[in-house]
Amino acid sequence: MLSKETGISKAALSRALGDCSGVNAQIRSAAKAAAEKYCYSGKQKKDFPLTVILPDTPHYFWDLSLKGINDALGPLKFRLSRITNLHDFSSLEQCIKKAVSHGVRALILPVPNQKIADLLAKFDEDIIIFQLCEYRDIINSFQFSSDGYSDGQRLAKALLSAHGYAQQNLYSESYKFAKIPYAVLLDSYTQLSSERSEGFRSVYPEEYILDIIEIPDNFGRLLPSVLARLITDKGLSRFELLICNDGILPAASATIKKLGMTGKAFCAGYEYQEKSQNERDRNICVTVTQDIYSESFAAASAAAVYIKTGVFPDRKKFVLPSSIFNYKKTAGSHVK
């Protein structure tokens, strides 16, 4: 009612009434005036339908996410919907419509690409969305911002440092004569992965970046085969590093094996797996581990605050852990 009366989105109203940051004075004043006029307290009913939508594979990833959500919500009840493939947009849309028809007022789910973001935008007026990570600005959503550009820079510095170069020496003539690995960047062209690519390229010597390969949405189980073919078709057989900006390190490692380049080429980048998953993988030299449990816990905690108070909490109260960089010297590597 307040949203229609004021013309202010539900998300902005919620932040204004909750005295959160990121709301200008005019909107805050209009929101509070409308709340006072209609005697709106912001308190929600105890029965507040909430649905969590997650894919059912890979289990190590989403089970960890679900544990974080369970731990954060505690006694609050919610409905879990699992989808075989999150990229199956018709199934996802049907799942959300079904939730809305059952009176669901909030969703917790990841937003990994543009199509899903566009799909969620259709439901802005009906539900509140709590995203595990930021993809793009969606009205009526609570999302966490991560600095992909900075992460990309850190990854580039970690790789160059492993080859004996300090940041202050990167722009001297000496690096041109060094054995810096020729890199190929894998980019899904989501906002986050593209920011990582830009950050990486701002530090890593340009002449050692052979190309950027756009990863198709529908990789599925054929990913190593498809990726190997993309690399071959582009004539990038002299690459020595695959930089994975979107959590596909295991597939990149399998691609290296498929190309028969184990011991000659390596991959580095971002993933959500626990470190133990890759301790025996000879093709991975640098892993940026992101804490999916903590991200999920934070998103669910924000949802719990909203359910109890009727307003979005201040993002400053939810501090996500920074990525953990793990470098290991790979067998057969030329790393100094």
Q: Choose among 2, 39, 18, 78: nearest CA to 309.
A: 18
Q: What is the pLDDT of residue 332?
A: 44
Task: Select the CATH number that applies to the domain covering 148-290 from these four: 3.90.1170.50, 3.40.50.2300, 1.10.10.410, 3.40.50.261.
Answer: 3.40.50.2300
Q: In the chain, what are the domain boundaries?
A: 1-42, 44-143+292-317, 148-290
Q: What is the pLDDT of residue 65?
A: 84
Per-residue CA distances from 55 to 68, 134, 244 (Å): 15, 18, 21
Q: 88-126 burial by CB neighbour count: b if 16+ within 10 A, else e?
A: ebeebeebbeebbeeebbbbbbbbbbeebbeebeebbee
Q: What is the pLDDT of residue 260?
A: 93
Task: Select the CATH number that applies to the domain covering 44-143+292-317 from these four: 3.40.640.10, 3.40.50.2300, 3.30.450.20, 3.40.1170.10.
Answer: 3.40.50.2300
Q: What is the pLDDT of residue 45?
A: 44
Give CA–CA dist 135/132, Å, rounded.
9
Q: What is the pLDDT of residue 276?
A: 43
Give CA–CA dist 94/97, Å, rounded.
5
- Average confidence (pLDDT) per 10 residues, the chain, 336 residues: 68 67 73 62 58 77 84 84 76 83 82 72 74 69 76 88 62 61 88 87 92 76 82 92 86 91 90 57 82 84 83 71 68 43
**pTM listed for this prediction:** 0.66
| 44-143+292-317 and 148-290: identical CATH topology | yes
Give CA–CA dist 267/183, Å, rounded.
9
Q: What is the pLDDT of residue 320?
A: 66
